[in-house]
DNA sequence: TGATCATTTGACCATGCGGTCAACAACGTA
DNA sequence: TACGTTGTTGACCGCATGGTCAAATGATCA
């Protein structure tokens, strides 16, 4: 029938994503995207509809990938559910303390959104709730395992960890070092039970 | 001698700050600033040197003001130091859950900065450490009061609360509601001691 | 009153922006 | 091989941007 596309959407979104992660939405130029993706302005426009729409696509991809990654981190392994959460939070802290750590698309979306009805916010909120749901499942496993009191409010705890991780991201971006950030992570984990001295991450 | 200025720097910075809080740095135009401050481009340029420099000034003012506000919130009142911290964190949660809540200049600076050596980052990091210092003092008071164990790592706890507050800010921005956010705040406060059921804030 | 000099004013400028257009190219089909 | 459809290409557009300039302004002081 018609001329086939020269590109794969996934690859284009992935390239665009890298640019957005570095520059954000407002500071990224259509030209940046053209250079990064290799396709022409018009092709970009045909396929996605513009800068903002492309960002939205990248954001959705990012949300899916983040959910997948966390889901895997919290399910696999021979450690107990509680230990998996502990390890995960600590790993994020270490990640965020890297001096070249970038701000996630999700956070950028929140900051650059114009309000709560902005798709930038709604998509990100959905992502946050998805993550919280994943944490909740793991916490339920931990409770079943007897590592958490029966009356613990799991969804709330889950949302709490989302907040802590978001906060650590920002602190890392500010240049707060690894030692301080892991200490923050360990403090945050104390709500799960007292003994938080051992370091479950082989750093 | 020479012609005196028609404006007060403080007022100009304050007006500019409002614009920056709403739009961020990149998305704010010089014209927005001209309109908000009432002075001409050239006057702005003479007095501050450009958009970015003006943002930096606004950021520094914001840092000072935030430090002053927190300092006061944590010192005055007849409540115990621990109760003051609890009240403070909960109040921030409620604040952030307002649907029209904006993202602080500090967070904007972090997200829009180009790296750790960017002044946007260094100023904000200094602000973060200043806040952590203020929290630390209050926590010391609490420990002296016998409300915290003698071996608690206070600076770490302080930084932890900075992270939690930053995280709640983002969640609020995403549209996470008041109930969920106060629950997060209460969870975060559990690291200070077990009984966190009573609500010390008259909401 | 007139000289001084930072401030103000509004016009001005080059650039880069997001987006569009029309001509052209590649594919399946007839 | 001619056609219809869709994708690609590079030139193009109007506009808003951050920043600059030269002339006018007005407090102060001699």
Asked whether residue A198 is domain-assigned, the answer is no
| Structural domains of chain B, count | 1
Q: What is the pLDDT of residues B35-90, one digit of tens each?
A: 999 999 999 999 999 999 999 999 999 999 999 999 999 987 789 999 999 999 99
Share of chain B above pLDDT 90, in %: 88
Name residue, tokens 């809540």: B101
Confidence of residue A198 (pLDDT cuts 50, 70, 90): very low
Give the CATH number, domain containing residue A168. 1.10.357.10
Query: Does B26 have pLDDT greater than 90?
Result: yes
Asked whether residue B3 is domain-assigned, the answer is no
pLDDT value, residue B197: 46
- A26 touching B (Cβ < 8 Å): yes
Asked whether residue B6 is domain-assigned, the answer is no
- B163 touching A (Cβ < 8 Å): yes
Q: What SS3 string covers chain B? A: CCCCCCCCHHHHHHHHHHHHHHHCCCCCCHHHHHHHHCCCHHHHHHHHCCHHHHHHHHHHHHHHHHHHHHHHHHHCCCCCHHHHHHHHHHHHHHHHHCCCCCCCHHHHHHHHCCCCCCHHHHHHHHHHHHHHHHHHHHHHHHHHCCCCCCCCCHHHHHHHHHHHHHHHHHHHHHCCCHHHHHHHHHHHHHHHCCCCCCCCCCC
- Cβ burial, residue A152 (10 Å; 0-12/13-18/19+): middle
Name residue, tokens 């009805």: A117
d(C-alpha A112, C-alpha A119), whole Å: 11
Asked whether residue B154 is domain-assigned, the answer is yes
d(C-alpha A51, C-alpha A132), whole Å: 29
Residue B99 CB lies within 7 Å of the nucleic strand C: no
Rounded mean pLDDT, A130-145: 97
Asked whether residue B39 is domain-assigned, the answer is no
d(C-alpha B147, C-alpha B173), whole Å: 33
Q: What is the pLDDT of residues B99-127, one digit of tens each?
A: 999 999 999 999 999 988 999 999 999 99
- Report residue B30 as tokens: 């010089």
| Beta carbons within 8 Å of A43's beta carbon, 6+ residues apart | A6, A7
Query: Does B192 have pLDDT greater than 50?
Result: yes
Asked whether residue B10 is domain-assigned, the answer is no
Rounded mean pLDDT, A170-193: 97
**Do residue B111 and residue A173 have CB atoms under 8 angstroms apart?**
yes
List of chain B residues whose C-beta atoms are within 8 Å of the C-beta of residue A175: 116, 121-122, 125
With CA atoms as reference, report the closest residue to A193 among A141, A138, A147. Answer: A147
Rounded mean pLDDT, A143-163: 97
| Beta carbons within 8 Å of B46's beta carbon, 6+ residues apart | none
Show the domain range for B89: 61-192
Query: Does B155 have pLDDT greater than 80?
Result: yes
User: Angle A119-144/B154-174 helices, nearest 10 degrees?
Assistant: 130
Name residue, tokens 């008071």: B141
Confidence of residue B196 (pLDDT cuts 50, 70, 90): very low
With CA atoms as reference, report the closest residue to B166 among A151, A167, A145. Answer: A167
Mean pLDDT computed over every residue of chain B: 93
Strand C nucleotides where any atom sits below 7 Å of a protein CB: 4-11, 16-22, 25-29
Which residues sit close to strand D, CB under 7 Å? A 1-7, 39-43, 46-47; B 1-4, 28-31, 41-42, 45, 50-52
Q: What is the pTM of this model?
A: 0.93
d(C-alpha B20, C-alpha B26), whole Å: 9
pLDDT value, residue A193: 82
**Which three-class secondary structure state does DSSP give residue B80?**
coil
Asked whether residue A16 is domain-assigned, the answer is yes
Asked whether residue A176 is domain-assigned, the answer is yes
Q: What is the pLDDT of residues A21-71, one digit of tens each?
A: 999 999 999 999 999 999 999 999 999 999 999 999 999 999 999 999 999
Long-range pairs for A179-183 at CB < 8 Å and ≥24 separation? A180/A97, A180/B156, A180/B159, A181/A93, A181/A94, A181/A96, A181/A97, A182/A90, A182/A93, A182/A94, A182/A97, A183/B153, A183/B156, A183/B159, A183/B160
List of chain A residues whose C-beta atoms are within 8 Å of the C-beta of residue B187: 153, 156-157, 160, 191
């Amino acid at each position: 029938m018609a001329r086939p596309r020269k590109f794969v959407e996934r690859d284009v979104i992935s390239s665009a994503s890298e640019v957005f992660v570095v520059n954000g939405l407002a500071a990224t130029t259509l030209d940046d995207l053209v250079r990064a993706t290799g396709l022409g302005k018009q092709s970009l426009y045909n396929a996605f509809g513009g800068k903002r729409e492309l960002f939205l696509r990248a954001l959705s991809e990012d949300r899916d990938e983040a959910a997948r990654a966390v889901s895997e981190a919290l399910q696999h392994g021979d450690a107990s559910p509680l230990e998996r959460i502990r390890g995960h939070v600590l790993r994020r802290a270490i990640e965020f303390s890297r001096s070249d750590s970038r701000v996630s698309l999700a956070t950028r979306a929140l900051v650059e959104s114009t309000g709560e009805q902005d798709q930038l916010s709604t998509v990100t909120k959905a992502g946050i709730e998805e993550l919280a749901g994943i944490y909740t499942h793991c916490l339920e496993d931990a409770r079943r395992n007897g590592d958490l009191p029966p009356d613990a409010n799991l969804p709330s705890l889950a949302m709490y960890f989302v907040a802590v991780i978001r906060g650590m991201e920002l602190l890392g971006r500010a240049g707060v070092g690894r030692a301080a950030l892991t200490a923050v992570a360990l403090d945050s984990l104390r709500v799960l039970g007292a003994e938080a001295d051992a370091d479950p991450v082989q750093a």
